[in-house]
């Protein structure tokens, strides 16, 4: 296999992990936004405790994908940056205020007004970030960005990214994030043996999941009409993954229904993996539709090889470190009682 394909696979993996892990952190904020007036303090505590130790690490997947794109396919990054500068900047504002809002809210313990302001900022920004990232992804997938064969954007800088698919993707991304968050929080509620919260998040996850299923079929219709090139490729190569995403999606709902929450988490995450992989495989070898291909955008071979060496070497450090992080904070019922302790620590300052 040529190195550019391997780097591309790593890039897709990083984006997928960002969606599955970072997406759920955004989703928690979306729920904070949706339930601003009704959420109980206990409910909030579970939510903030769940993302506290991991959100910064989860966020790095995006940075990682960005540097990989810059290093391995610099022309693609330049093209995307030009064509999608507006949704990307808007997403960036969301990302900035999400992170700052979360940290400020967590550590402004005791200052109620500050906590309310930054909690609201966190909630709103967590919704804006996936919305505009989703819009950018949809604009890219639609194949409607006007550019020269070498990736120079010739369309409108203000409206060039807006298409039915980009608008659909914006809402879809927010929905996916909320579904992931609801499923994960159901599991975390069960881990601390809080029947009430488990029940609440299970109901929310089931309702969101059902809606997302309907929305997904609408999405297929929009792709068929708005992105004919992608649609052809979907039918030629993406079908198995589309089918798999339907199966895992329904599987996660079934697991939620049967209260098998670990399985539900795996199912929900797998659905997202299948959707992104299906998109990637269908679009290959085009990197920035309609015309900028991997071949045109890729860096010289020696760079790609160095990238692969660095990624392999880095993974040796990264994988155990990530394993430690998730083992400490996400490992389930055996540390259930201790999870409550850290929940207090999370509230920032309350433990002193």
Contact track, another protein, 138-177, x by CB under 8 A: -------------x-----xx-------------------
The footprint of another protein on this chain (CB under 8 A) covers a number of residues equal to 75
The helix (run of H) or strand (run of E) holding residue 287 is strand 286-288
Q: Name which of 225 and 344 has its Cβ closer to another protein.
A: 344
Q: Which residues of 43-52 are buried (b: 16+ CB within 10 A; e: fewer)?
A: bbbbbbbbbb
Q: Which of 202, 212, 209 is nearest to 260 (CA)?
A: 202
Q: Which 34-73 residues touch another protein, going by CB under 8 A?
A: 52-54, 56-57, 59-60, 62-64, 66-68, 70-72
Q: Which 206-225 residues touch another protein, going by CB under 8 A?
A: none
From 285, 321, 333, 337, residue interacting with another protein (rule: CB under 8 A): 321
* CA pair distance 21, 180, nearest whole angstrom: 9
Q: Which stretch binds another protein (CB under 8 A): 167-175, 180-188, 247-255, 344-352?
A: 344-352
From 97, 131, 179, 279, residue interacting with another protein (rule: CB under 8 A): 97
347 CB neighbour count, 10 Å cutoff:
20
Q: Which of 168, 177, 244, 171 is nearest to 205 (CA)?
A: 177
* CA pair distance 327, 50, nearest whole angstrom: 13
Q: Name which of 220 and 324 has its Cβ closer to another protein.
A: 324
Q: Name which of 237 and 291 has its Cβ closer to another protein.
A: 291
Cα–Cα separations (whole angstroms), residue 287 to 5, 184, 293 = 11, 32, 5
Q: Name which of 79 and 216 has its Cβ closer to another protein.
A: 79
| Contact between 108 and another protein per CB under 8 A | yes
């Amino acid at each position: 296999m040529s190195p550019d394909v391997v780097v591309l696979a790593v890039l897709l993996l990083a984006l997928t992990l960002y969606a599955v892990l970072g997406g759920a952190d955004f989703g928690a904020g979306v729920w904070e936004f949706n339930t601003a007036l009704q959420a109980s303090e206990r409910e909030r505590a579970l939510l903030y405790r769940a993302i506290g130790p991991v959100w910064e690490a989860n966020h790095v997947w995006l940075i990682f994908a960005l540097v990989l794109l810059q290093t391995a396919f610099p022309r693609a990054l330049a093209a995307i940056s030009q064509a999608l500068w507006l949704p990307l900047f808007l997403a960036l504002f969301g990302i900035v205020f999400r992170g700052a809002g979360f940290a400020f809210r967590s550590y402004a313990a005791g200052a109620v007004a500050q906590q309310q302001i930054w909690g609201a900022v966190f909630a709103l920004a967590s919704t804006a970030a996936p919305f505009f990232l989703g819009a950018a992804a949809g604009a890219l997938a639609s194949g409607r960005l006007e550019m020269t064969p070498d990736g120079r954007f010739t369309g409108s800088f203000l409206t060039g990214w807006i298409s039915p698919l980009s608008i659909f993707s914006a809402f879809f991304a927010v929905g996916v994030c909320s579904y992931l968050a609801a499923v994960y929080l159901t599991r975390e509620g069960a881990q601390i043996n809080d029947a009430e919260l488990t029940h609440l998040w299970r109901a929310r996850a089931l309702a969101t999941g059902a809606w997302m299923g309907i929305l997904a079929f609408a999405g297929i219709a929009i792709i068929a009409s708005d992105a004919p090139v992608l649609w052809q490729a979907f039918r030629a190569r993406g079908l198995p993954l589309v089918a798999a995403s339907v199966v895992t999606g329904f599987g996660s709902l079934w697991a939620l229904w049967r209260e098998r929450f670990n399985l539900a988490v795996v199912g929900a995450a797998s659905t997202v993996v299948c959707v992104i992989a299906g998109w990637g495989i269908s679009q290959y070898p085009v990197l920035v539709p309609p015309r900028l291909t991997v071949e045109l955008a890729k860096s010289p071979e020696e760079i790609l090889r160095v990238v692969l060496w660095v990624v392999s070497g880095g993974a040796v450090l990264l994988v155990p470190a990530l394993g430690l992080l998730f083992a400490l904070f996400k490992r389930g019922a055996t540390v259930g009682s201790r999870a409550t302790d850290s929940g207090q620590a999370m509230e920032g300052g309350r433990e002193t």
